[in-house]
Amino acid sequence: MLNLLFSSPIAFAILAVVLVASITIHEFAHAWAADHLGDPTPRSQGRITLNPLAHLDPLGTLAILLIGFGWGRPVVFDPYNLKNPVKDAALIALAGPASNLILATIVAVAFKLGLLGFLGAIGASAIITLIVSLNVMLAIFNLVPVFPLDGEKILVALLPRTTAIEYSQFMRRYGMIVLLFLLAPWSGNSPISRLISPIIGFITNLLIG
């Protein structure tokens, strides 16, 4: 990512803006869903906003600049304020990835309808591809059912109660270790990349061809 800063500052700036905006929308969606489902915690913490400063994590932002991928500040919610804690927690978790897929779809459709012609002078096709692919990647990556990713809460809501409790307890204890293992490169590619890359590619091609 830093190499891109020196080789193409404009491309670096575009990539950074797209990543920050995508992560902001992702975290805002979590906060909005929790607020909509009855928990005032995100609102009291100033998270019901599209201001990136409310959602960016310092270390996650640094990772964006260094490696081209990062994360936002997790949205905190109180399950005791929810009518159905397990189901509603899954809906709150799903809101983040869903927002990225919705954004990717809106941008792709708008481009195909010729509504983004003003980007032509700076390479519309490349920018649209970047926005769509990054948002699809954020969505699919976060749907992996490993703590602390969103997919873990979604899977817990779908499992039988006893299995869900056991899985949740295991993930709270070992989830970060499992995630680090999945992210570690093996023979050039990480296990998680082998798992989700075909899905990301399929959805991206479906949206933009």
Query: How many angstroms separate the CA atoms of 177 and 33, rounded?
Result: 29
Residue of 27, 35, 150, 152 marked active site: 27
> Is 152 assigned a catalytic role?
no
The residues, any chain, with a CB within 8 Å of residue 208's CB and separated by 6 or more, are 108, 111, 128, 129, 132
DSSP 8-state symbol, 70: -
Q: What is the DSSP string of 97-156?
A: HHHHHHHHHHHHHHHHTTTTGGGGGG-HHHHHHHHHHHHHHHHHHHTSSSTTSHHHHHHH
Q: How far apart are CA 108 and CA 23, in angstroms?
A: 18
Query: CA 143, CA 141: separation in Å to the nearest integer?
Result: 5
Cβ atoms within 10 A of the Cβ of 105, count?
16
The token pair that represents 25 in the structure block: 């929308």
Active centre residues (catalytic): 27
